[in-house]
Amino acid sequence: MVTATLSAVAGGLRRAERHGRDVEVVDATHDSRQVAPGWLFCAIPGARDDGHRHAPDAVDSGAAALLVERWLDLPVPQIRVPSVRAAVGPAAAIVHGRPSEHLTVVGVTGTNGKTSITYLLEAAFGAAALGTGTIGTVEARIHGEPQPGVRTTPEGTDLQRLFHEMVDRGVDAVAMEVSSHGLDLRRVDGTRFRVAVFTNLSQDHLDWHGSMEAYLAAKERLFTPGLSDHGVVHRDGPWAQRLLERATIPVTTVGRDASADVRIDDEVLRVDGGSATLHWDGVVHDLQTRLPGGFNLTNAALAVVAAVTAGAPIEAALAGVAAASGAPGRFERVDVDHPVTVLIDYAHTPDAVQLAVAALRSLVDGGRVLLVLGAGGDRDRGKRVPMGAAAAAADVVVFTSDNPRGEDPATIVEALVDGARRAVDQGAGAEFHVELDRRAAIGAAIAEARPGDVVLIAGKGHERIQELADRTVPFDDHQVAAEFLAQTGGGA
């Protein structure tokens, strides 16, 4: 067990004051219900609650010390800082012996592609005979074993504890999704990233950030010396140049443009994957992936370049990426013997929907693309009309519920339909329907499909639940689709 003195914790924080005797702390948490004897309780002020209110409960549970923004009349030593939110990650890192410095951590940020790239990185590092860890939307994994987790980017205390466990269990390299929320909320402060990867930026989370500029600014924090050593940036996207102008660490660019440091060329796309050449420092490398679509070739290239930049041999990185089957719910095929292909994907932004439909359009030989799509409630409302417009590039669209949460599902779908109508008015040829019951919508799309068609069920991906106004219910797009395929002539 790693421990740290309170004076060591205070000494590693900016503008910290310490009050009371020096004590040893064995762990750190922001959740008073998690406190055990000897722990440091970090009183984070939040939008709906203030951790300072729960400090007495933490002390009653045995907290050895408190991290606060104002002195509290409680009988334990305290560290006062201007912002507990900014200090939590660094404090927890000190308590756990700065574990990320004993790991090769690659952080992946961007609107789309984060999960797929972390899984590809896991495969690349595994092929290089490195012990692997992943942290992200689907789950956290240590040596391929799922670990309990709740957030794409865990809170700073949980993240540093997880890094500590990874070190203890012999992990060498970690591939981690880094969300804009996690960057804004300083959850990764105290973490050392060997490499930071930028995938792309498109409309999402504007209910949180307010503008695309603010959204980009959150991502930019990862490309500073305080967090990362080196950057790998997808060069082709519209926001890449702005990020490159503002990044303050060395950056390697990847893309199809001749100006990219690593250029993707000679692409061949298939339903079961794709191939390309990578031109890097005057050497041509063969890139293979089992994942379909041009965007997955981009993801594969970014994963290879990031893995090599982090220290993996390029031959191992290429072999690992070539063998990787991808992440759950990311262009994942429903494996039922049937003349209709059904894919499950997490696409839930206008850009992701457009890319997914375009990828399938280029792969379907004479068949149609059918799309099942909804949008999440109580989230960025501004992306719904553009999502509907992007959906109209399919041949048939069934608009339905996603996770409506506290909103009226019909109101959400109305915005999607509005976008589709606008696109059709401008020449898109989609036929679209509305079926608010998601199970029925999936069934309707599969029933409509003919041999050679592809059905894309988008929005929820790996999720196994549906969030309604008053409850959460089990719902698995993959399972539901498999049931309908079996009913219409498929066999397992």
Query: What digits encode the pLDDT tens for the residues 356-409?
Result: 999 898 888 889 999 999 999 998 899 999 999 999 999 999 999 999 999 999
Residue 226 sits in a domain of what CATH number?
3.40.1190.10
For residue 47, the model assigns a pLDDT of: 78
Would you place residue 491 in the very low, low, confident or very high pLDDT band (cuts 50, 70, 90)?
very low
Locate 40 and state its tokens: 């440091």
Asked if the model's pLDDT at residue 150 lies above 60, the reply is no
Which residues make beta-bridge pairs with 253? 233
Residue 295 domain flag: yes
Whether residue 350 is found in the same domain as residue 483: yes
**Segment 70-79, tens digit of pLDDT:** 999 999 999 9
Whether residue 23 is found in the same domain as residue 64: yes
Q: Of the residues 95, 128, 145, which one is the last residue of a structural domain? A: 95
Asked if the model's pLDDT at residue 46 lies above 90, the reply is no
Whether residue 268 is found in the same domain as residue 398: no
Residue 35 domain flag: yes
How many domains, the chain? 3
Dist CA 310 CA 229 (whole Å): 10
Residue 31 domain flag: yes
Asked if the model's pLDDT at residue 126 lies above 60, the reply is yes
Residue 277 domain flag: yes
Q: What is the CA radius of gyration of the chain?
A: 24
Residue 89 sits in a domain of what CATH number?
3.40.1390.10
Locate 278 and state its tokens: 């990578």
Whether residue 225 is found in the same domain as residue 279: yes
Dist CA 239 CA 223 (whole Å): 14
Whether residue 267 is found in the same domain as residue 399: no
Residue 387 domain flag: yes
Whether residue 186 is found in the same domain as residue 311: yes
**Segment 82-116, tens digit of pLDDT:** 999 999 999 999 999 999 999 999 999 998 899 99
CA-closest candidate to residue 352, choices 333, 375, 320, 321: 375
**Segment 360-374, tens digit of pLDDT:** 988 888 899 999 999
Residue 288 domain flag: yes
Residue 397 sits in a domain of what CATH number?
3.90.190.20
Asked if the model's pLDDT at residue 492 lies above 50, the reply is no
Whether residue 278 is found in the same domain as residue 354: no
Whether residue 361 is found in the same domain as residue 448: yes
Dist CA 373 CA 441 (whole Å): 9
For residue 48, the model assigns a pLDDT of: 86
Name the E strands within 374-418.
Answer: 396-399
Average pLDDT over residues 245-273: 95
Whether residue 394 is found in the same domain as residue 447: yes
Whether residue 345 is found in the same domain as residue 233: no
CA 117 to chain centre: 9
- Contact between 490 and 336 under an 8 Å Cβ cutoff? The reply is yes
Locate 301 and state its tokens: 């290239």
Residue 492 domain flag: no
- How many other C-beta atoms are found inside a 10 Å radius of the C-beta of residue 471? 8
Give percent of the chain above pLDDT 70: 97
**Segment 191-240, tens digit of pLDDT:** 999 999 999 887 555 555 568 788 888 889 999 999 999 999 999 988 89
For residue 152, the model assigns a pLDDT of: 67
Whether residue 230 is found in the same domain as residue 179: yes
Averaged confidence pLDDT in the chain:
93
**Segment 409-462, tens digit of pLDDT:** 999 999 999 999 999 888 888 899 999 999 999 999 999 999 999 999 999 999
Whether residue 84 is found in the same domain as residue 216: no
Q: Of the residues 304, 323, 342, which one is the last residue of a structural domain? A: 323
328 or 415: whose pLDDT is higher? 415
- Contact between 173 and 197 under an 8 Å Cβ cutoff? The reply is no
Give percent of the chain above pLDDT 90: 81
User: Which residue segment(s) compose the domain that 372 sits in?
Assistant: 332-487
Q: Of the residues 55, 79, 95, which one is the last residue of a structural domain? A: 95
For residue 316, the model assigns a pLDDT of: 99
